[in-house]
A and B are shown apart, each in its own frame.
Chain A
Amino acid sequence: MSGNPSTMPCRITRPGVALASSRAVGPDGVLRVAGTANDSITDGPGIRFTIFTQGCPHDCPGCHNPQTHAVDAGTIETVDALWERVVANPLLSGITLSGGEPMLQPIPLARLARRARARGLSVWCYTGYRFERLLAGEPSAEVLDLLGDVDVLVDGPFVQRLKSLSLTWCGSSNQRLIDVPASLGSSTVTLWNA
């Protein structure tokens, strides 16, 4: 990883107000990440390149990755550098945007997602927000832009009492696997069908 997180010019949309004002500012070509997984087999079907974004406002009790919550931690990666690693891996079925809360950094992630789809890779995205909430009121243009290049959205916060190991691709039973193109095309939420 390159760069020093404390001096790199990258800001993250302030949590809480993210979706109301949705000003994901900072250079469009960089994002703050907690880490990556080159050969993930647990973040969607096939082998996937998973990006764990840094920064999350939800603070779900029992979160697997509490170290990703702070918005000013992690390291800065450029979209180009991440993309190079995606291209280098011939085993990939797709990429997965995880975190952290990806919706805090929609602009660079949308760029990455668009390139992935153009290459025939599927894009999965995890978010602690409900799908309806992301679209409610006057939705953020950047978030909509990102959703336009997501195939499957795993939505909703992690709820510890609904946790189950028998679930595939999500942690608690309130979370849904949403077929984003189908859902955006109609007015109802369509679940993803493997």
Chain B
Amino acid sequence: MDSTIRTHTAVTTIIKRDGRSVAFDESKIAEAVCKAFEASGAMKGYEEAERIADRVVELIETGALEGRPSVEGVQDLVEEVLIADGFARTAKAYILYRAERSRSREVNTRLMQTMRDLTFSKAADADLKRENANIDADTAMGTMLKYGSESAKQFYEMCVLAPEYSRAHQGGDIHIHDLDFYTLTTTCTQIDLLKLFEGGFSTGHGVLREPNSIASYSALACIAIQSNQNDQHGGQSVVNFDYSMAQGVRKSYARLYVRNLATALELLGDVDDATAVARHAAADVLEGTGLVPTLDPDGAYRVAERDALLATVVDGGIVGHAQAFAEKAAWRDADRETYQAMEAFIHNLNTMHSRAGAQTPFSSINYGMDTTPEARMVVRNILLATESGLGHGETPIFPIQIFRVKEGVNFNPGEPNYDLFKLACRCSAKRLFPNFSFQDAPFNLQYYKGTPETEIAYMGCRTRVIGNVYDPSREISNGRGNLSFTSINLPRLAIKARGDVDLFFELLDSMLRLTVGQLDERFEIQCRKKVYNAPFLMGQGVWIDSEQLAPDDEQREVLKQGTLSVGFIGLAETLKALTGAHHGESEASQNLGLEIIGYMRRYLDQLSEERKLNYTLLATPAEGLSGRFVRMDRECYGSIEGVTDRDYYTNSFHVPVYYPISAFDKIRIEAPYHALTNAGHISYVELDGDPTKNLDAFEAIVRYMERSGIGYGSINHPVDRDPVCGYNGIIDDVCPQCGRREDEDGGGFERIRRITGYLVGTLDRFNDAKRAEERDRVKHGVGAGDIVAEKPVAAGATV
């Protein structure tokens, strides 16, 4: 049959929405029309409805629908026929009925389709499964977590969120982060281990005593992070890693000193029961002077102990000798024990699971300021253990390490921890961690009062909590954290404003109002949670002041110590849409960029002041979001050059990764935004080449960040590893050590990259937008072999 000729064909089957083909039943049309007549009060009955149905069938048979008829197509024809026959109101009722039916159908089918995708597609094929690079959604527990998380999201969107917030989120005006935990948890905490360990703590199945050695300190630190991760959806950071672990070293050293002294006494003086003698001497000194053996060469202890030993059976000739041996041997043993403890700490944090069993905890540690010999031993060893890597030399993904840089402490030659700063640079040049936080940046320094609590702490990914309008006497990080954050799609506002900057600010103003309203809605839900809902975070006093609450108390009062944060994404695309140039291309755009971000900050500062609640501004880490917004905006507004024509929106205030710019310009341009984003920020410099071979270059960048007022920064460089020969460095297609190609036996090369602050061991788990972003990153410092093209003339810069 010639398919171009329309002929009468009897309708026998119809395609349903889910794709199934079923027998066509004309009476179903008549029934639906009849219901619409009733709804519109058209005073027509089933006969008229049948006539309409007949007319629809006739149209189908004469070829009004292309291909096999579908339910949707038939319904369109019904509407046409009703309108043609003058039943305008009935047609409207029919349309409403259809819309209502499809919404309730959607409730079921969207969820079921999601479940189907999660169950039957591989993570490699489904962006949904790669939304969070830290989850392996191909595993059983990973999929179980995604079932829970996806159903929770859809439930909240339809039944919990106020419709305006739900609409804004679904439509891509804003992004409510960690929506799956909307009614359950807060984001993150800076855990104070000194406070937690004092007197021991409980994980729910028994009490853990206060630890007594560096090995137990590090083991319990992992447990604390893991336990707290089950009560929160965001990062878990140790605020005082050096100060707290140093206590463990102190205890280990004292024990090791006495043991080594006993050994020496036994060997040198043939002392019977040397262990008891050494112990008694230590106990006597403690009782008489309050002194204990410490890594600090302490003359007073030595003298007191000498007297105590001489008072017993020990021969005076050997005491000095034995003490010297004990000091030396105890230092060596404590150092070894500390290294092993740090190695175990890193191994544990890369293997233990938390957060519904499918993820390693998002762990971070802050250190670098404690100058005691014990703390220095801790920091040196965690850096050395990080540098040597995991079992087969792999780069540890966790914890994110943050080295606190401060002049007078560790930044310049001659300062007590300068050697640790140098070591931190060396370690980061190989392993991407530690990152560097800058205590002397004015917006960090303003809080510093010379005490550990007032040092700035960052959550690994970038979050920062220190200012406090609710309780101004406690502008600290310990025990505090972010409660929730929601990001604004800035580029969309700019597109809508069509170059009208005043209109842009009006739109921004109302979007800020909406976002704050949504944060308040979520805060109210969080406040009503009881202490028993967060048995570790609140039950064990990890969160500030929670130890003063009873298990049945609401969390409300103590949560006010936290922050509610508004984030933003795509300042670069926003500026491009408003002026034709982003802030890397034009000074005028940079000025406008600072006005925009400054406006947001002022808005939140005023609100904080009015309500005595901490509203802060976050430079959003864009995972899961970088592709979502731009996809929606491209659909809506088309492909706009420099705005929606890539697969991602640029992270927060960053200069676009595809834009060639010198490292110093990037730092100079991004630094002022650090001062404005009080909820957290990070700047990266991408290096091409192996910085372990040029530590001067690495350090030069860190030093320039410090000088420029960067708050938190990090240097990215390629870290590849051949799993067969173990080579660690830059690998293109061929391993430079063994000559193996990527496609040969033994599997692909591991490629560690940073994504929203976290390291990810393989590019496979990057979502599509993040993969595109990684591909476009312009690296600084090009090898002798590769010649960089000159900076292109900025496209559209004159628009």
Q: Do A and B bind each other?
A: yes
Q: Tell me the chain B residues, 685-700 only, with Cβ under 8 Å from chain A.
A: 687-691, 693-694, 696-698, 700
Contacts of A40 in B (CB 8 A): 689, 781-784
Q: Let me know if B687 and A64 touch, CB within 8 A.
A: no
Chain A minimum-CB-distance residue to B693: A168
Q: Mark A20-39, 1 if CB is under 8 A from B, else 0.
A: 00000000000000111111
Range, interface on chain A: 20 to 34
The binding surface of chain B is classed by DSSP as: loop
Q: Is B306 an interface residue (CB 8 A)?
A: no
Which one of A37, A52, A65, A126 has the greatest number of beta carbons of chain B within 10 Å?
Answer: A37
Residue among A38, A67, A165 with most chain B CB within 10 A = A38
B21 within 8 A of A: no
Q: Write out the residue numbers on chain B whose beta carbons fall within 8 Å of the beta carbon of A98.
A: 784
* Contact partners of A38 in chain B: CB under 8 A: 662-663, 780, 788
Instruction: Report the minimum CB–CB distance from A173 to chain B (whole Å).
Output: 15
With a cutoff of 8 Å between Cβ atoms, the chain B residues found around residue A50 in the complex are 782, 784
- Complex contacts, B687 vs chain A, CB 8 Å: 39, 41
Chain B residue with the shortest CB-CB distance to A1: B790
Contact with A along B311-346 (1 / 0, CB 8 A): 000000000000000000000000000000000000
Please determine whether B788 and A37 come into contact, CB atoms closer than 8 angstroms: yes
Closest 9 CB pairs of A and B: A64-B785, A35-B787, A41-B781, A39-B780, A41-B697, A46-B696, A42-B689, A38-B662, A42-B783
How many B residues touch A, CB cutoff 8 Å?
Answer: 28
Q: Are A36 and B694 in contact (CB under 8 A)?
A: no
| Assembly CA distance A1 to B696 (angstroms) | 29
Distance to closest chain B CB from A39 (angstroms): 4
Q: List 11 A-B contacts (CB under 8 A).
A: A35-B788, A36-B788, A40-B689, A40-B784, A41-B689, A41-B694, A41-B697, A42-B782, A45-B694, A45-B696, A64-B786
Complex partner residue of A90 from B704, B781, B788, B789, CB under 8 angstroms:
B704
CB closest residue in chain B, given A170 = B784
A52 proximity list for chain B (CB < 8 A): 787
Q: Is the CB of B658 closer than 8 A to any CB of chain A?
A: no
A-side residues, CB < 8 A to B, are: 1, 34-43, 45-47, 50, 52, 64-65, 67-68, 88-91, 93, 98, 126, 165, 168, 171
Contacts A38-B662, A47-B697 given; does A91 touch B784 at CB 8 Å: no
A91-B788 in contact (CB<8A): no
- Asked whether B763 is an interface residue with its Cβ less than 8 Å from the other chain, the reply is no
A126 proximity list for chain B (CB < 8 A): 784
Residues of A within 8 Å of B689, CB to CB, are 40-42
Report the Cα distance A35→B660, complex, angstroms.
Answer: 14
User: Apart from A67-B787, A91-B664, A168-B693, what are 13 other A-B pairs with CB-CB below 8 Å?
Assistant: A36-B788, A37-B787, A41-B698, A42-B690, A42-B693, A42-B781, A42-B783, A47-B663, A47-B697, A91-B663, A93-B697, A126-B784, A165-B736
A98 to B696 alpha-carbon distance, docked (Å): 20
Interface status of B701 (Cβ within 8 A of chain A): yes
State which of B662, B697, B785 has its C-beta within 8 Å of the C-beta of A89.
Answer: B662
Minimum C-beta distance from A142 to chain B (A):
24
Q: Verify B790–A35 contact, CB threshold 8 A.
A: yes
Chain B residues whose CB sits within 8 angstroms of the CB of A47 once the complex forms: 663, 696-697, 700-701, 781
Please state if B787 and A34 are interface contacts (CB–CB under 8 Å).
yes
Nearest CB of chain B from residue A192's CB, rounded to whole Å = 14
Q: How far is the CA of A34 from the CA of B785 in the complex (A)?
A: 12
Give CA–CA (A64, B700) in the complex, Å: 27
Of residues 765 through 799 on chain B, the ones whose CB sits less than 8 Å from some CB of chain A are 780-790
Asked whether, in the complex, the Cβ of B781 is within 8 Å of the Cβ of A46, the reply is no
**Shortest Cβ gap from B10 to chain A (Å):** 71
By a CB distance below 8 angstroms, the chain A residues around B694 are 41-42, 45-46
- B664 nearest in chain A by CB position: A91
**Least Cβ–Cβ distance between B355 and chain A, in angstroms:** 38
A90→B782 contact, CB < 8 A: no
